[in-house]
Structures are given as C-alpha cells and as structure tokens.
Structure 1
Amino acid sequence: MAAQWTGRLWSTGEGVRVTAEKGLVTEISPASASGQWIAPALIDVQVNGMGGFNLNGDAASVETVRGTVDALHREGVTRFCPTIVTATEQSIVASVASVARACEQDAGVEHAVLGIHVEGPFISPEDGPRGAHNAEWVRPPDWDEFLRWQDAAGGRIKKVTIAPEWPGAISFIERLVATGVIASIGHSAASVEDVKAGVDAGARMATHLGNGAHPLIRRHPNYIWAQLAEDRQWAGLIPDGFHLPPETLKVMIRAKGRKAILTSDASYLAQMPAGRYGTHHGHEVVLEPSGKLHLASTEDILAGSALTLRRGVQNVANFGILPLGEAIDLATLHPAELFGLADSGVGTLRVGGPADLITYQWDAEAPVGELKITGTVSRGECVYVAE
C-alpha cells in the first residue's frame, strides 16, 4: 500500500508530495505545503551508542544495537556506522558480533547499519592523539586480527580508523582497500609524509579531523593542514561546538567542500542527563549541562560527543556557516557518496530511490533555529512520529 508525505523540499523550498511503496519512492509531485519541510533522512558515519545504549564494552548486545537504532530514529537518522573503539580483541569481537546478530534478527536494523566502523586499536599511543582511548589497548596493525573481527562481523566492517605512522600501517591500508573497506586516518601523530603515504595507499577519509590530536602542535606543516589540503580525502567533522570552534569548523567545511561530512561521534550518553558516568574505556567522564563531554580527570580531553547529528546540522546553520538545506547535504548526500551509494538514491530524494526521509520544522527567521524532527521514515515505514 502506498504512503505519502508532504512538505517543502529541503533543497528548494518547493512544496511536494512524496509517495512511496515497497520501500521505494514512486512519485514526487507538486503539492501545497504549510510549515513542514521534507528531506532525506540523516546518515551518521560514527555512532558509539545513544540514549544510554552502549555499543562498546560489556554492555554490547543485540538489545543495545536495537536501542541505539530507535534512539537514532528519534533524531532523524536512518542509516549509521556502529562504531567500535579501541579495546581488547575479545571485546571488539564481542561488540561486532552483537551488531551482526542484531542485523540477522531484525531487517530494520540490517537496513540501518550502513557498515561497522572500528576506530582503533591501531592508533597513536601518544597522549593527545590517542584521545580518551585506553593506552593499554593500543597496538600496532595486525591483519590476522582484523580478519578475526571481520569474521565475527559477518563481513559488515566497512571502515577502520588507523594511524598511518605505525610500521606496517601502509600495507595494512592497502589490504583494507583491496577488500572494499574504507581506511580512515585518525587518532594519529602522523607526519605530512605519513599522511601522504596513507592516502597514496588508499586511505579515503579523515576521522573527526581536528580532533584526536595534540593540544599544541607546530602551526605548519602538520597533520591537520596536510589532510585539509588532500583533495582525495573525505573529512568527518564533529559540529557539536566543542570538538571544533565554529570558526574552525567553517574553514574546514570550506576547504573540504563536497568531501565534508558531518558526524556526531555520539557516545551512549547522547540524549542522557548531565552528570558523572563511567565508560568502557575504564575512565570516568563528565557530561556538562551544556552538552560538553570530557574526561573527569581533565576538561581538555573530550570523551566523544553527547550531542546528536540533528543538533550538529542545526549548529552549522545557526553558526552561519551554511543554510540549513545545504547543511543537511553534509549529513545525507556526502556520506552516501563516500560509501558509493548515492547513485542508487541513498542520501537524497528521487523516484526509484529508497524511501528514507524526515519531515521537520525550521524557523529560518529565528535568531537561534531549532531543527525539530516531526517524523522519520525508513524503508517507506514511519519509525518515529513526534508527540
């Protein structure tokens, strides 16, 4: 049975009616529209959990994956990369296996999981670039270990964050790329030459560029400038207002252009109240009322993000960096292009493409606008309707 939604297109403001059947968009026709807008559903390429559901550590389970998907639907996200961070091999295997089981048991979860992202443990052991990752679990690249992860994941690992300065990292990146996995440079103390060698080997992305870095570095050259200037490399950017100051975020978006991707890097504390919490890293963290999440031992080291991608897109518009419609593209079309899915209609709205969309309200005239999701649609089915 066909379903329909009306709204003003995020890209043009034109009033339309979108019709879908069997999970695909079958018609987009002119229609009168009130204050509601319509856009592709958001895609988040880095999510560690949400709403109290942690995809890492001992808490990882089929239920935490399903809970994370439900929490993401409330934020307008229908596709995401569950992100498993630096841990023991046993823990990483358990976490990716939980994601695989959830996908096997639930078609909705299978659709939502764009691919698993393993962030570490093959990252820099140095303070600063390592970020909040536990130093005891950082280790050099090991291809056999990766194959054991991939086996447990049922082949669902699609992205790995790695520091290219490790001995053996370049050949590891080449092998990732040969198997169709995106190699992403991050949590790295790389030299400019290391960055170039990694990209030459096929590393196509920078994980949360500007973060997972030394608090103080040489002004130039350095690994941030090297990746900003690298036209072959996509850049994930965290627009929560804490990881990157608005001015820095603006410059990075301008520099990367079509290869800028907004991502939340949301921890399981996104959507949770302010307070002091424990993490799978073995650290205590503090979630401030402002939304800033940092190690309890030092406010200078962030511990992931507690804001959602919806809020990040909203921030980009409120910071005056881009109009909201263009900001949405950085969280829909751009990640779809990175994963090679845009040609099938993922990340946009078009006839024949998947019926993954959001309806929302937005007051462009307000001094500080709120992107309010009124409905989320996945595979042509409503998975969230605002009260």
Structure 2
Amino acid sequence: MILKALHYRTGEPVEIEVEAGRIARIASAEADRAERDALPYAAPGLVDLQINGFAGHDFNRSPIPPELPGTVARELRREGVTAFYPTVITNAPAAIASQVAAIAEACEQDTDAAACIAGIHLEGPFISPEDGARGAHALEFVRAPDWELFCRWQEAAGGRIAILTLSPEWEGSGAFIRRLTDSGVTVSIGHTAATAEQIEEAVASGARMSTHFGNGAHLTLPRHPNYLWEQLAQDELYSCLIADGFHLPDQVLKVVLKAKGEKAMLVSDAVYLSGMPPGEYTTHIGGRVVLTPQGRLHLAEQERMLAGSAQMLLWGIEQMTARGIASLADAWDMASVRPAGFMRLPAAAGLSAGAPADIALFRRGDGKLRIEQLCKAGKVVYRDEAGAGE
C-alpha cells in the first residue's frame, strides 16, 4: 500500500509505502497545485494516556461488559486514536479488581482491544482525601498506598496496569513509588495536596508524570511554594494537559509549554459522555450533568463546576492551534509521538521508515480536524465514507 498525502509537519507532499504492518519507505512526492489541494494530511496515530470512557461506554461502571473495551477501541478510530490507556478511577477494591480484570480479558479475546489498548491507567485510590484535590473521586474509597493490594489488582489485570496516579502525601509514599517503578509501572502525581518536599521525594523515587496538571486541585493555594509550582520545577516530570478550552485557561497552557517544552503532552481524560450529543444526562458519579452544544460538561445544579472532560484529543489539538498556543504539528506531536515515546511504545518513531504503520489521514476546514482514514499496523481500520470525495 502506498499513501500519498501532505506531511503534517512540513505540509509537503510525500509517499508513504507500507509493508508488513510497518512504514517501509517515506519519500518526497511530486504534486501540482490542484493535486496538492486535494491531498489529506498524514500524521502518526494519536495516543491517549487517559480515557475513562467514550460514546456511552464506561470503564468505571461495574460489571464491564466483555465487548466494551473492543467496542471503545473501534469507536475511537473516528477520532484518530490508535493506542490508548483505559482509565479506572478510585473505587472499592473488589470493583477495581473486577474492572481491570474485564479489560485484561477483553485484550485476550478481542483482537481490536489487544491491538489498541497499550495498558491500563489506574487513577487512585491512593490519592489525597482533601476536598478539591480529590476532585470527583469518592472519599469513602480513598486510602493509603498498599503494596499487597496493588499486587492483587495487577494480578487481576494480567500485568497490564501501566500507569498509576497517586498522591505522594501519604507516609511511605517514596518506598511505594520505588517498588512500582521497579516493577515497570509508570508513576504519575495527581489529585494531590503534597508538599514541595514530598513531591521532590516522589520524583527522586521514580515518579515521572503529572496527571491532568492544574486540575484535580484546590481552588485556592498558597502563593508559593505549592504543589503546582513544584511539579513545574521538577525537570524529570512530564505534564499531561486537558486542552479542551474549559479545564485550563490559555495562560496556564502557555506557561506549562514554556516550562516543560517537549515534556508537555495532551490527554483527553474523557468520560463516557464524550462522543454523545448535547443534552442533560444522569451519571453514576456526578448525578445530573449537562453537555452543552459548545462541548462543555458541567453539573446541572452548579454550572460553574465541570463534570469531567467530554472532548477527545482532536478537539484539544484544534484548541491549541486555534488559540495560537502551539502549531498544528507540535500540538499533534503532544498527542501522538510524545506520549508514545514517554510510554516507550514503538509508535514513538512516528512517520519514519521502520515505524509501525499507525497513520491518520486527516483534513482541515473551518478550524476543525476530520479523520478521513486511519491505519493500524498497516491495515485500514476506518474510512470516513461520508466525507469521501470532498
């Protein structure tokens, strides 16, 4: 298979030859003005480190139906996602075990789930019990780090828990983080009320990431020091950002990019209402919520309170580009090759010879990005028939 498209970084026409699931060759191509205008862009498939659900399918409702993980993997194709980390949040120990086991079982039984689920992200329950920092996580299930309990969950998950979000404010967090890191789990700091010293110790012990930086935080903080400044100051920490236009103001996004550079990444942190039409919904976590036509999800009784993210990575890329915070190429990298490289996935090679042929062909128009075709391991897994021929 040979794909002809505009390279997302240069805007120049290229030919991408795909063989045996990998990019065999990528080279410049000739194209006159009319042909160039008709070509889509080619970019690496998107990699989402944090997805709670999509299109009405929820990874945090028990029991998880056997078909759900594979269904989500297939639904995400229209969003350009070729790899993702289903996210299970704070819950009762038995519920967490059931949820991660169901995801693992799906990866054994469903080839689409196995191909696209790169690991499980466990967000909690070892987080801050404080209001604000805890976010929407249920206080009754928040608990101190427990290695034996985590090992039981990891066994239920078949070793697929790849990311653990925790707060290092608990006694013994440093030793716990070292054990996680030694076992191959990526530790991320989030939903925290930790002191600067505790965050410093966490990083020294192996923590590598900040979960949805700037969210899951108190409304008011000491001027300095505080846990946001400290996470920005820790050079080893990568920062994940929800760039949906609602969770973080532009000023914060700009500052994080200045501080972190290529260690800034985009996540959706999407809840199961993402991909659903606007309207009022009743959820098992936030109660009555409203998804506005503008894409904002808030509590029905408190319009100022967000009820999670309802937008995907494509939306975040659009926001970063439209607001002049990042170029299209850099914003796309923040949602593709950077998270892939961070998690040491082969897709980190992007559009280069020898890389997995996880390729998104997309078009731009009216500030929107639309996936025209998606390849996973060289196989066309999605084609936008409605937009074909435009």
TM alignment of 1:59-78, pairs within 5 A:
60-78=64-82
Corresponding position: 1:26 with 2:24: yes
Q: Tell me the TM-score normalized by structure 1.
A: 0.94
1:137 aligned partner: 141
Cα distance change on mapping 1:269 and 1:59 into 2, 3 Å? farther
1:147 aligned partner: 151
Q: 1:8 aligns with which of 6, 30, 38?
A: 6
1:206 aligned partner: 210
| CA drift at 1:251 | 1.4
| CA drift at 1:108 | 2.4
| CA drift at 1:155 | 0.4
**Cα separation, 1, equivalents of 2:55 and 2:40:** 26
2:95 aligned partner: 91
**Cα separation, 1, equivalents of 2:235 and 2:380:** 38
Match of 1:257, SS state, is helix
| CA drift at 1:385 | 0.8
**Cα separation, 2, equivalents of 1:159 and 1:191:** 22
Structure 1 residues 18-46: Cα deviation after superposition (integer angstroms, max 9, x where no partner): 12122111121222343411000111100
**Cα separation, 2, equivalents of 1:176 and 1:296:** 39
Contact between 1:58 and 1:280, CA under 8 Å: does it hold in 2?
A: no
**Cα separation, 2, equivalents of 1:271 and 1:262:** 18
**Comparing 209-218 with 19-28, which one deviates more in the overlay?**
19-28
Match of 1:247, SS state, is helix
Q: 2:312 aligns with which of 287, 308, 314?
A: 308
CA RMSD for the aligned pairs?
Answer: 1.5
| CA drift at 1:340 | 1.9
**Cα separation, 1, equivalents of 2:188 and 2:108:** 27
Contact between 2:286 and 2:299, CA under 8 Å: does it hold in 1?
A: no
| CA drift at 1:113 | 0.9
Match of 1:214, SS state, is coil
**Comparing 34-43 with 231-240, which one deviates more in the overlay?**
34-43
| CA drift at 1:59 | 5.0
Residue type of the alignment partner of 1:318? A
Match of 2:168, SS state, is coil
Q: Tell me the TM-score normalized by structure 2.
A: 0.94
1:109 aligned partner: 113
Contact between 1:131 and 1:301, CA under 8 Å: does it hold in 2?
A: no
TM alignment of 1:1-387, pairs within 5 A:
3-31=1-29, 32=31, 33=36, 34-58=38-62, 60-281=64-285, 283-341=287-345, 344-346=346-348, 348-363=350-365, 369-386=367-384, 387=386
Is there any run of 5+ residues in structure 1 with no aligned partner, and where?
Answer: none
Cα distance change on mapping 1:346 and 1:106 into 2, 3 Å? farther
Cα distance change on mapping 1:167 and 1:285 into 2, 3 Å? farther
| CA drift at 1:345 | 4.5
Contact between 1:293 and 1:302, CA under 8 Å: does it hold in 2?
A: yes
Cα distance change on mapping 1:282 and 1:244 into 2, 3 Å? closer
Residue type of the alignment partner of 2:353? V
**Cα separation, 2, equivalents of 1:222 and 1:94:** 36
Contact between 2:136 and 2:286, CA under 8 Å: does it hold in 1?
A: no
| CA drift at 1:157 | 0.5
Match of 1:81, SS state, is strand
**Cα separation, 1, equivalents of 2:304 and 2:173:** 29
Contact between 1:159 and 1:181, CA under 8 Å: does it hold in 2?
A: yes
Match of 1:90, SS state, is helix
**Cα separation, 2, equivalents of 1:370 and 1:263:** 18
> Identity of paired residues, percent?
46
**Cα separation, 2, equivalents of 1:14 and 1:191:** 48
Structure 1 residues 142-161: Cα deviation after superposition (integer angstroms, max 9, x where no partner): 11111111111110000000
Contact between 1:132 and 1:295, CA under 8 Å: does it hold in 2?
A: no
Contact between 2:121 and 2:164, CA under 8 Å: does it hold in 1?
A: yes
| CA drift at 1:300 | 4.1
Residue type of the alignment partner of 2:52? N
| CA drift at 1:354 | 0.3
Match of 2:348, SS state, is coil
Is there any run of 5+ residues in structure 2 with no aligned partner, and where?
Answer: none
Residue type of the alignment partner of 2:76? L
Residue type of the alignment partner of 1:164? P
Cα distance change on mapping 1:347 and 1:240 into 2, 3 Å? farther
Contact between 2:349 and 2:355, CA under 8 Å: does it hold in 1?
A: no
**Cα separation, 1, equivalents of 2:281 and 2:171:** 36
Structure 1 residues 194-250: Cα deviation after superposition (integer angstroms, max 9, x where no partner): 111111111000000000000111222211111111110001000001110122112
Match of 2:194, SS state, is coil
